[in-house]
Amino acid sequence: MEWLYYLAFFLFGLCFGSFYNVVGMRVPKGESINKPGSHCFTCGHRLKWYELIPILSFIIQKGRCRECHTKLSYLYPFTELATAILFVVSYHSFGFTYELLIALILCSLLMLVIVSDLSYLIIPDSFIIIAAILIIIVRLIFEGITGALIAIGYGIISFGLMYLIMTLGNVLFKKESMGGGDVKLMFIVGLALDPFLAIVVIFLASIIALPVSFFLLLKNKEHVIPFGPFITLGLLIVFFTKLDIIDIFEKVLTFF
C-alpha cells in the first residue's frame, strides 16, 4: 500500500513540474500563466493534450516541436522529473507531517527559481512572497503564533546576513556582486531553518556553485552566474539533513 503513496507523489510532482515550467518561463516576462494556452514559443503552435504529458511527450516528439521541429529545451523534462523525484523524497523523509508541507514548498520554489534564474537571471518577488506566506501559514497552524514569529525573526536575521555579504561584496569588487533576488531568498532560508543553519546554506551553496561557475564562465560572456538555484538547492539539502549536519559540526567542535 505504501508504494501507492510514492506513486501518487511522483505523479503529482510530474504535473506540478510541468506547471512550474510555465510559471517560471512566463512570470518573469510579465505574461499570464493561463492565457494564451501552452504553445511553441517559436511558431506559436497551440499544444494538444497529448503534447502536454510530462516527460513522455518530450520523448515521443524527440525533443522537438511537432509543427516547426524546433529543438526544445531539456530544462522542461528536467524540471518535471526533478520535481517528481523531490516530491517523493519529501514524502519519504517526513511522511505525513507539517514538515512535508514545508519541504514541498521549498522543492517547488527550487524548481521555479531554476527555470526563472537560468532562463532570465531573474527571481520574481512573487515566487518568494508566495513561498514565505505559505511557510508562515504552516508554522502558524502547527507551531502557533510564537513559532511563526520566531521563524519570521530568523528570516529577518538571515536576510540581514546575506545583505551584509552583498554589501561587502559590492565594495570589494566595486560592482554588483549579487542579485537582490538572492538576498531575498535568504528570508525563506530563515523561515525554514535557524540562522546557524542559514550560514551552512550559504557555505554549501558556494561550494556547489564553484565548479559549475567555472563552466558557466566559459559559456557566459557577461560573466553572470545565477546564484539563486544554488542557494535554494543548499537550503533543500540542509533542510532534509539538518540533524546530521548539526551532529557533524558538534563532533568537529568537540574534536578541536
Under the banding of pLDDT at 50, 70 and 90, the label for residue 186 is: very high
Q: Per-residue pLDDT averaged across 155-179, rounded?
A: 84
Q: Say how far apart CA 192 and CA 103 lie, in whole Å.
A: 9
pTM of the predicted structure, to 2 decimals: 0.88
pLDDT at 226: 81
Contact criterion met (CB below 8 Å) for 80 and 54: yes
Residues 6+ apart with CB under 8 A from 201: 189, 193, 231, 234, 235, 238
Whole-number average pLDDT of the chain: 85
Under the banding of pLDDT at 50, 70 and 90, the label for residue 2 is: confident
pLDDT at 60: 78
Mutual orientation of helices 75-94 and 228-255 as an angle, nearest 10°? Answer: 40
Range with the poorest average pLDDT among 11-15, 30-34, 140-144, 148-152: 30-34
Task: Give yes or no for residue 37 having a pLDDT over 70.
Answer: no
Q: Per-residue pLDDT averaged across 216-237, rounded?
A: 78
Range with the poorest average pLDDT among 26-40, 77-91, 104-118, 150-164: 26-40
- The segment with the largest mean pLDDT, out of 23-32, 60-69, 152-161, is 152-161
Which of 198, 202, 206, 200 has the alpha carbon at shortest distance from 158? 198
Under the banding of pLDDT at 50, 70 and 90, the label for residue 245 is: low
Q: Tens digit of pLDDT for each residue in 145-158?
A: 999 999 999 999 99
Under the banding of pLDDT at 50, 70 and 90, the label for residue 31 is: confident
Contact criterion met (CB below 8 Å) for 190 and 158: yes
DSSP assignment of 115-161? HHHHHHS---HHHHHHHHHHHHHHHHHHHHHHHHHHHHHHHHHHHHH
Range with the poorest average pLDDT among 18-32, 64-78, 124-138, 188-202: 64-78
pLDDT at 217: 64
